């Protein structure tokens, strides 16, 4: 049914019922908008009635106008209510689609873990702490004097070729003596200069060497330096300490082997190996020890008397031992890792294998 200004209030009531039915049948916002345009819009049916009131006889104009305006207000209220109903229905539908079953178990967040080198470092320090060694740290940017000269490696000494060094372009008193430390041994000198015996320290830290990387070498590594100085300290004390360390890290059945080696700041110097924990002995084709039956784990020796004397210690009264180990090397041996570069490649597939180890 269409509407015009000649419609009586009774006719408008009939139209109103049709329009309300059509509004109720509008099932979405687009249909409701179409209804609004057809009834209440500028070209809508009810708007046409209001525009044509001036053409009506005076006796009809007042009653028809009042009825049409009242109907317009009612339909606008009905329109707003219908729009609110559709919005509420849409929201309810979205909530139903995205509903969460609160009775289901939650999804656990993946927990991080310590890096395998950090895990191994903590175990090394724990082992030495149980043997009475205190943990101290030193600077990574070091002076030439502590890194080399005071360790019996003067500027023209060929032993400097053993350490490919990162030198820093910092001028100190007209020279450039600053470098990234190549080992943790400089802390030996710093600690001896500042403390009286007895000395029992373990020194962890990063070291840097300007060398090409391969399966067994990196430009950065983590080391632990061990130093003990007191009256009557002997090579037997060194061997006993390292035997206990090897048993704590590699198993209670381990044995250690000391064989002579050269380090400028110790005399005598030794390389320390532990018997292979992956095979029963030599010539077995073991991939870990390559059939030798022994695994080299660190370098060590008795502190050179000249090193003690330079720090004010009486070498006739005091002796000591020192040892230095690469943490990555020990971690590789313990976990059967063949390439040191895996540690710092940031490959989560590799690192996640050590969570909970």
Reply yes or no on whether the pLDDT at 327 is more than 80. Answer: yes
Reply yes or no on whether the pLDDT at 49 is more than 90. Answer: no
pLDDT tens digits, residue range 169-215? 877 777 778 999 999 999 999 999 999 999 999 999 999 998 888 88
Tokens representing residue 234 in the block: 């002997």
Residue 270 among the catalytic residues: no
Spot the catalytic one: 45, 266, 270, 307: 266
Spot the catalytic one: 181, 183, 254, 329: 183
Residue 35 among the catalytic residues: no
Residue with tokens 């009242």: 70
pLDDT tens digits, residue range 96-113? 887 777 788 878 887 788
Spot the catalytic one: 82, 163, 294, 329: 163
**What is the residue-averaged pLDDT of the chain?**
87
Which pLDDT value is given to residue 4? 55
pLDDT tens digits, residue range 65-100? 788 788 888 888 888 888 898 888 888 888 888 777
Residue 176 among the catalytic residues: no
Which pLDDT value is given to residue 211? 83
Which pLDDT value is given to residue 6? 53
The SS3 call for residue 206 is strand
The SS3 call for residue 330 is helix
Residue 324 CA: distances (Å) to CA of 11, 182, 201, 251, 272 = 105, 12, 12, 20, 10
pLDDT tens digits, residue range 247-268? 999 888 888 899 999 988 999 9
Q: CB atoms < 10 A from the CB of 72, how many?
A: 17
Which pLDDT value is given to residue 121? 97
Nearest to 343 by CA among 180, 221, 201, 197: 221
Which pLDDT value is given to residue 53? 73
- Higher-confidence position of 127 and 23: 127
Which pLDDT value is given to residue 281? 56
Reply yes or no on whether the pLDDT at 282 is more than 60. Answer: no
% of the chain surpassing 70 pLDDT: 94
Reply yes or no on whether the pLDDT at 1 is more than 50. Answer: no
Residue 16 among the catalytic residues: no
The whole model's pTM is what? 0.68
Which pLDDT value is given to residue 101? 77
Pick from 14-23, 57-66, 143-152, 347-356 the range whose average pLDDT is largest: 143-152
Reply yes or no on whether the pLDDT at 162 is more than 80. Answer: no
Reply yes or no on whether the pLDDT at 10 is more than 60. Answer: no
Which pLDDT value is given to residue 156? 86
| C-alpha span between 277 and 281 (Å, rounded) | 9
Q: What are phi and psi of 122, to 5 degrees?
A: -65, -40
Instruction: Of 25-29, 160-164, 186-190, give the lowest mean pLDDT range.
Output: 160-164
pLDDT tens digits, residue range 287-306? 777 778 888 889 999 999 99
Spot the catalytic one: 322, 323, 327, 331: 322
Residue 266 among the catalytic residues: yes
The SS3 call for residue 236 is helix
Spot the catalytic one: 223, 233, 272, 274: 223
Q: Residue range 212-229: average pLDDT?
A: 92
Which pLDDT value is given to residue 283? 56
Which pLDDT value is given to residue 16? 82
The DSSP call for residue 92 is H
Residue 294 among the catalytic residues: no
The half-sphere exposure of 160 on its side-chain side, counting CA atoms within 13 A, is 16
- Give the confidence band of 8 by pLDDT, cuts at 50, 70, 90: low
Reply yes or no on whether the pLDDT at 312 is more than 80. Answer: yes
């Amino acid at each position: 049914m269409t509407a015009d200004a000649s419609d009586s209030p009774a006719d408008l009531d009939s139209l109103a019922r049709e329009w309300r039915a059509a509004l109720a049948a509008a099932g979405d916002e687009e249909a409701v908008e179409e209804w609004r345009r057809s009834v209440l819009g500028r070209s809508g049916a009810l708007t046409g009635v209001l525009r044509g009131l001036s053409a009506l006889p005076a006796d009809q104009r007042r009653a028809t106008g009042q009825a049409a305006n009242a109907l317009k207000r009612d339909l606008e209220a009905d329109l707003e209510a219908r729009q609110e109903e559709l919005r509420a229905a849409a929201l309810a539908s979205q909530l139903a689609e995205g509903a969460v079953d609160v009775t289901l178990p939650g999804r656990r967040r993946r927990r991080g873990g310590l890096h395998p080198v950090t895990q191994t470092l903590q175990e090394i320090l724990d082992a030495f702490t149980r043997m009475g060694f205190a943990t101290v740290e030193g600077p990574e940017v070091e002076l030439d004097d502590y890194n080399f000269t005071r360790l019996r490696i003067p500027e023209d000494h060929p032993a400097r070729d053993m350490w490919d060094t990162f030198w820093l372009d910092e001028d100190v008193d007209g020279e450039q003596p600053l470098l990234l430390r190549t080992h943790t041994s400089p802390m030996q000198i710093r600690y001896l200069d500042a403390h009286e015996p007895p000395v029992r320290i373990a020194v962890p830290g990063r070291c840097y060497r300007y060398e090409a990387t391969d399966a067994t070498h990196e430009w950065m590594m983590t080391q632990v330096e061990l130093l003990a100085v007191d009256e009557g300290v002997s090579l037997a004390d060194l061997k006993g300490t390292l035997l206990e360390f090897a048993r704590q890290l590699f198993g209670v059945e381990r044995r250690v082997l000391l064989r002579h080696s050269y380090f400028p700041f110790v005399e005598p110097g030794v390389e320390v190996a532990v018997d292979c924990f992956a095979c029963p002995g030599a010539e077995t084709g073991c991939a870990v020890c390559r059939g030798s039956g022994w695994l080299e784990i660190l370098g060590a020796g008795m502190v050179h008397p000249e090193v003690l004397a330079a720090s004010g210690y009486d070498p006739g009264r005091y002796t000591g031992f020192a040892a230095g180990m690469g943490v990555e090397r020990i971690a590789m041996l313990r976990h059967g890792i063949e390439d040191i570069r895996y540690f710092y490649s940031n490959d989560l597939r590799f690192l996640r294998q050590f969570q909970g180890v």
